[in-house]
């Protein structure tokens, strides 16, 4: 399942990417550009009440909650999502591209020294150049996700 989040849902988009879902998000897109993303088989996520009537309920989900974690939980319930742990942290939280493994010696100078010393698994976003390591997506990593998913 793929998503597109409107400009008020940046944090939700980040969470969906962390869980491995392909999620388009841009602060700059117009409403029409946003709605057109449904043609790409994406479920649209919006907090804009004016958009709700313009698209069927199966294509556009109106997100009621303010809190990003509550938004995510509501979405999981509503769509019956089953996030796959194998896909957690497989995507860049910032730009949505898939991450690729990178050798530790290739990230020297690109991550803080203490991070390099403490970790031996890194991945890279070829799109924006960000380097990730276990725990870099969010401080408490998988534990935080499990709590969020209610496990």
Which residues contact Zn ion by CB under 5 A?
92, 94-95, 97, 125, 127-128, 130
Q: Which is nearer to Zn ion, 33 or 127 (CB)?
A: 127
Are the C-beta atoms of residues 52 and 60 closer than 8 Å to each other? yes
- Smallest gap, in angstroms, from Cβ of residue 43 to Zn ion? 22
CA gap 19, 64 in Å, rounded = 21
- Smallest gap, in angstroms, from Cβ of residue 74 to Zn ion? 27
CA dihedral 85, 89, 94, 98 (to 10 degrees): -100
CA gap 126, 139 in Å, rounded = 23
- Smallest gap, in angstroms, from Cβ of residue 65 to Zn ion? 27
Q: Which is nearer to Zn ion, 116 or 132 (CB)?
A: 132
Q: Which is nearer to Zn ion, 6 or 124 (CB)?
A: 124
């Amino acid at each position: 399942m793929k998503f597109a989040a409107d400009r008020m849902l940046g944090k939700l988009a980040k969470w969906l990417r962390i869980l491995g879902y392909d999620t388009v998000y841009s602060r700059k897109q117009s409403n029409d550009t946003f709605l057109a993303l449904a043609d790409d088989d994406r479920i649209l996520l919006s907090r804009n009440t004016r958009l709700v009537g313009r698209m069927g309920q199966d294509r556009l989900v109106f997100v009621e909650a303010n809190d990003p974690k509550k938004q995510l939980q509501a979405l999981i319930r509503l769509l019956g999502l089953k996030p796959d742990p194998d896909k957690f942290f497989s995507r860049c939280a910032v730009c949505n591209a898939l991450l690729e493994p990178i050798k530790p010696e290739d990230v020297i100078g690109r991550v803080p020294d203490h991070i390099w010393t403490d970790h031996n698994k890194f991945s890279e976003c070829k799109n924006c150049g960000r380097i990730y390591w276990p725990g870099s997506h969010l401080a408490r990593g998988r534990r935080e996700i499990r709590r969020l998913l209610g496990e």
